[in-house]
Structure 1
Amino acid sequence: MTDKKEAILYKILRPIITVLFKFLFTPKIIGKEKIPKEGRIVLAGNHTHIFDSLFLISCTKRCIHFLAKKELWIGVKKILFGNMGLIPVDRKNGDPKALESAIEYLNDEKVIGIFPEGTTEKVKGKLLPFKRGAVTMAKETNTKIIPFAIKGDYKLFSKNLTIIFGEELEVIGEIKPEIKRLEGVIDDLLRGDL
């Protein structure tokens, strides 16, 4: 998979996003050393806000290929998202093409960022049921998952925003129990049990 365009745009925007994000929200990042410097990985965590992707971008120098709802792919955003390596997802009809694209990136030793809830949380700190995507792509490509949890609010200069990265998970069992296991680990991270 060629990603020269997106890599260049990502390399230009990532430092700007990182500086602005850290200045505006002064987040606390715990465990970012758990993100490998190379090789395929799936970053999977709770989805609290539209800025969650920017928070993840500010945590690693690696290019993260996010899955994003196709409704966002309009006008200039379509060009921007395409050149940043984002993957459009049709959430209403299921989307094998999005899963295939993510698997292709993983087979190219890239990083996939995914919010398994499929949308932002309705109740702060309470996870929605997870979709199959993160676990399915990890299992099909023999890729480990780095779980993460985002806590706090995106209030300017509040210093109460935190992301916690957990230990990597290997998907070894059937999909449904593995989804529940991932959900449990992220819930534990949210509660501070790990």
Structure 2
Amino acid sequence: MLYPLGKFLVSVLFKLLFKIKVIGKENIPKDGPVIICSNHISNYDPPTVGITSPRTIHFMAKEELFEKKGIGFILRNVNAFPVKRGMRDRNALRKGLKLLEEGNVLGLFPEGTRSKTGQVKKGLAGAGFFAMRSNATVIPCAIIGKYERSKPLTVIYGKPIQFESLKKDKPSAQEVTDEIMENIKRLLDEYRK
């Protein structure tokens, strides 16, 4: 696997290009299954979350990327796995659950696609599915700023989301995703000031 080498190289490159500040890394449990759910503003978001997290992350990525020779090779070697967009991809769901059962970290961008305005869009039900079907700790993540040379970029890892009261009402996967997105929005509102 290229993950450790890739993380090192991207860390060096991004530190040269961007002024990344990380807040709340201590909120990510040191072991056990974790789902990190982040807003999505750029193609640089996955490597940014990857280099700022203290743990190795397995990301879902759209299937089309794996068909491109260069990026497909890299994705397969940095723990990413494909998901078919626009439909319920049972293989991707099974793969994600298996990773969580093994105590890994799953990285998700619940919006499914980048927000061109920077405003958080409605999340897809997949994040809620993983949260309800696993015993994983769910950590909201907010990326604030622009990927421009020497401009500040802040990555905030929030406190674990508590679903106990919500679970009593037997919510749908979409309702759980909505709660995750609300937590991301709160981080954005708090730290944009």
Q: Same fold (TM over 0.5)?
A: yes
5+ unaligned residues in a row in structure 2: which ranges?
A: none
1:191 matched to 2:189? The reply is yes
Paired residues of 2:110 and 2:177 also in contact (CA < 8 A): no
Q: Number of matched residues?
A: 185
2:101 alignment counterpart = 107
Which residues of 2 match residues 9-20 of structure 1 at below 5 A? 9-20=2-13
- Superposed CA deviations along residues 96-126 of structure 1, whole A, max 9, x for unmatched, are 11111111111111111000000001312x1
Q: The residue matched to 2:42 in structure 1 has which SS?
A: coil
1:167 alignment counterpart = 159
TM-superposed CA distance for 1:193, in Å, is: 7.0
- 1-structure distance, mates of 2:19, 2:51: 11
Structure 1 runs of 4+ with >6 Å offset:
none
Paired residues of 2:25 and 2:54 also in contact (CA < 8 A): no
TM-superposed CA distance for 1:76, in Å, is: 2.6
The equivalent position to 2:147 in structure 1, one of 142, 154, 158, is 154
1:179 matched to 2:177? The reply is yes
Paired residues of 1:143 and 1:170 also in contact (CA < 8 A): no
Q: The residue matched to 1:27 in structure 2 has which SS?
A: strand
CA RMSD of aligned residues (A): 1.6
Question: What percentage of aligned pairs have identical amino acids?
Answer: 33
TM-score by length of 2: 0.90
Name the stretch that deviates more: 29-38 or 107-116: 29-38
- 2-structure distance, mates of 1:177, 1:57: 27
- Superposed CA deviations along residues 49-93 of structure 1, whole A, max 9, x for unmatched, are 000011111212421100111111121322221121101111023
5+ unaligned residues in a row in structure 1: which ranges?
A: 1-5
- 2-structure distance, mates of 1:32, 1:61: 7
- 1-structure distance, mates of 2:43, 2:30: 26
